Amino acid sequence: MIYLGCPLSKESSFELVTSSPEETVELGRTIAGYLMKGDVISLSGQLGAGKTVFSKGIAIGLGIDDNIISPTFIILRTYQGRLPLYHFDAYRINNTEEFEEIGYKEFLYGGGVSLIEWGEKIQKILPEDILEISFYYQDKLNERKIIFKEYGSKWKDRRKEWEKSLQP
Ligand X SMILES: Nc1ncnc2c1ncn2[C@@H]1O[C@H](COP(=O)(O)OP(=O)(O)OP(=O)(O)O)[C@@H](O)[C@H]1O
- Do residues 42 and 55 lie in contact, with contact meaning Cβ atoms separated by under 8 Å? no
Is 145 one of the binding residues for ligand X (CB under 6 A)?
no
Q: CB atoms < 10 A from the CB of 34, how many?
A: 13
> Rounded CA gap, 112 and 43, in Å?
17
List the x/- string, 32-61, binding to Mg ion by CB under 5 A: -------------------xx---------
User: What sections of 20-153 are H helices per DSSP?
Assistant: 21-32, 51-61, 96-101, 104-108
Is 30 one of the binding residues for ligand X (CB under 6 A)?
no
Nearer to ligand X, 62 or 90 (CB): 90
Nearer to ligand X, 122 or 154 (CB): 122
Q: Which helix (H) or strand (E) holds 149?
A: strand 144-151
Site for ligand X in 113-132 (CB under 6 A): 117
Q: By the criterion CB under 6 A, which residues form the site for ligand X?
A: 18-21, 23-24, 47-53, 70, 91, 117, 135, 142-144
